[in-house]
Structure 1
Amino acid sequence: MVLHPQSMCPARESAIPVRVKNSYNPQTPGTLITKERDMSKAVVTSIVLKPSITMLDIVSTRMPGKYGFLAKVFSIFEDWHISVDCVATSEVSISLTLDQSKLCSRELIQQELDHIVEELEKIAVVKLLQNRSIIFLIGNVHRSSLVLEKAFNVLRRKGVNAQMISQGASKVNISIVVHDSEAKECVRALHSAFFENTNGFNHESSLETN
């Protein structure tokens, strides 16, 4: 079962616990979502796989230090009413993924992407990368360095190069982009590293979203 984030708003505002159950195995306790939880021993609490996403690598053709590049890039997505999901950026380059849920309801996905790339190419060199997956590692804000170190070791052993890495301001969610063909095997390996060989680390669940 997958819950839309907005469906959780009333429970969050009222501090009402929500239990998520597996409809195929209702006897299991499932996952209990509460307002607060003891995270002192947790490293990763869940792994989420979001497959079949679109990624863009955008490198500015302007001189370093020239203002307005980021604003122009995001104004193009605003004009086309397309939401950006994950972002990794420097002064003159951006890697980002598009919110697939905002694209799936559209009839002209590829045509819109072509127009966006055409607009971006007026100010940047653009690579459109499809058939990518995002692996979200959700865990302890105070132990994010340990999460990254362990995740990188897993990817290295699998011979997988992360194509993009993003961490939000809350530091709770670390996003790693890999190719679709590598994603499920990476999730299995990460699950084994964090949850099966835990050395005392706590965990909750691993999820896949479509």
Structure 2
Amino acid sequence: MELLRPEGCALLTVECQRGVVGPDSALPELAAVAQESGALGRVAQLVAAAHDTGVQVLHAVAERRADGRGASRNAPLFRAVERLPVRQLSGSAAVEIAEPIPVAPEDLVVRRLHGLSPIAGTEVDALLRNLGRRTLVITGVSANVAIPAAVFDAVNLGYTAVVPEDAIAGVPASYTPAMVRHTLALAAAVTTADEVAACWRRTAVTPSRSNFPAP
């Protein structure tokens, strides 16, 4: 698949943070689905494949300041988040990337304090343009909100969106395939994690790590 050539492609992990998909999640039902479906493990496999083939990885993290300054409050979801027992506070363990996802020095972590989307109002678009990446592989959670928001924003900004349907999760578990079939497939190329990784490996020229100095 030409659009998945590593030199023009980036991988976005969405809210794959300990406070969302980890064992101490603020959203235990979502965390359970992400883990039990294998989606979280497949995100980790894609990140590892990206590191090996020169695909740029971006981790999108949702967090908030302890004082809540700048946080969105104009939707029921935001108000519900304020009442959760686990808070996604900046600098806390909750906003660290969850295991088993590997994080490399060349990865970019984009943190947002507001909104529903990991792209709108964040650095993602500017970073992708500076890196010359025009295809965005979108993974993570949730299929209910942030994943479709990312797909629509990416397409509206002129990127080609690719969704590995087995590397995203939402609640209930039955909702994700319906979202993929009836909505995401209209805006993104739908594939699987194995197919994406295999394509990267077939078309990679040099491993990404050769492009970065040793620490």
Given the two structures, how large is their TM-score scaled by the length of structure 2?
A: 0.24
Larger radius of gyration: 1
Structure with greater strand percent: 1
Given the two structures, how large is their TM-score scaled by the length of structure 1?
A: 0.24
